[in-house]
Structure 1
Amino acid sequence: MPPQHGPRRARIVFSDSAAKQLENITSEADFHALDRALVVISVDPKAGAPIPGNTAGPRLRQYTDDVEAVRILYFVTALRTVVVVAYIEL
């Protein structure tokens, strides 16, 4: 019997502002916390709550991990294959 694979993950990309925020992270603990949160939203892009607002552009979502104290604002492409991280808060 062939091995079973886990759920397909979406690819994570960062907006320019989120990439700058990522460059400023120096703590290994913060990297670990961010990595855990990114894995969650890559496996399940609907994990975050929708942010109310205009429906003209991509629908922003917010994922908050209270244990790791991480907040990520992101949107998902139409085919749910790419998650674009717009903002990181640690």
Structure 2
Amino acid sequence: MPKHTRGGRRPRIVFIEPAETQVRVLSREQTARLDAALSTLAEAPADVKQHATATALRDYQHDGIRVIFYATALGSILIVTYVEVD
């Protein structure tokens, strides 16, 4: 059974610069892959490994996609700071 945040409620995902700019230049195929990755990490953001240089940041990497983000204290919002899609 998959883990869910906040009793089954998924967090809202917000992009800040430079992630917002990075997302705007993705192709449709890349955007679809990123959407799938965001859905996966939204299920259990606390399970994503910590970023190497900042413990508040999480660094999700899978299948050519990298998303660096942090979650608000209650986990209701994921704030994406960096996006990379091969």
Instruction: Check whether TM > 0.5.
Output: yes
1:87 is aligned to 82
The answer on 1:63 being equivalent to 2:60 is yes
Task: Please list every run of 5 or more consecutive structure 2 residues that lacks an aligned counterpart in the other structure.
Answer: 1-6
Deviations 1:10-65 (A, max 9, x none): 0000012110111111x22101110011111222112321123355xxx0010111
- Match for residue 10 of structure 1? 11
Displacement of 1:83 after TM fit? 0.2
Partners of 2:23 and 2:72 lie apart in 1 by 21
Conserved 8 A contact 1:40-1:47: no
Runs of 4+ more than 3 Å apart: 52-55
Q: Which amino acid aligns with 1:11?
A: R
Structure 1: stretches of 5+ with no match in the other structure: 1-5
Higher percent of residues as helix: 2
Identical-residue share of aligned pairs (%):
34
Which structure is larger by alpha-carbon Rg, 1 or 2?
A: 1
* TM-score (normalised: structure 1): 0.78
| 1:72, distance to aligned residue in structure 2 (A) | 0.3
Partner of 1:3: none
Provide Cα deviations, 1:47-88, integer angstroms capped at 9, x if missing partner.
321123355xxx00101112xx10100001001000000000
TM-score, normalised relative to structure 2: 0.82
Picking from 72, 78, 86, the partner of 2:73 is 78
